Amino acid sequence: MSPPLGLVLARSRDDGDADGDFPASLNRLAVVALAGAALVGAAGLFAVPFLRSFGMTFWEAFTVVGVSEFVSAIVAALAGYHLYTTPDD
């Protein structure tokens, strides 16, 4: 007889070890980094006119925003990669 579907879906992996099976938990630092990267990415939508009001040319402001968006994308990718962790013994 097979186990109930809910029990099968709740297990993180089935390697035959009955006592070492833990569900994955969220990495809080990765969640904060992902939220920060999302905020920087959203702020980049309005940053070019804001930077131009301080006397920057369009290309200078665009370069600043482009670099910050690129770094934000890298941080978001790394945070997504490290989002779930499993407890180590």
pLDDT tens-digit map of 21-44: 666 788 889 899 999 999 999 999
DSSP letters, 40-67, are: HHHHHHHHHHHHHTTT--HHHHHHHHHH
Q: How crowded is the C-beta side of 71, counted as CA atoms within 13 Å?
A: 10
Residue 48 near residue 65 (C-beta atoms within 8 A): yes
pTM for this predicted structure? 0.65
Query: Which tens digit of pLDDT belongs to each residue from 41-68?
Result: 999 999 999 999 999 999 999 999 999 9
- Residue ranges of domains in the chain: 23-85
Q: How many Å from the N-terminal Cα to the C-terminal Cα in the chain?
A: 32
Name every residue whose Cβ is closer than 8 Å to that of residue 4 and which is 6 or more positions away in sequence. none
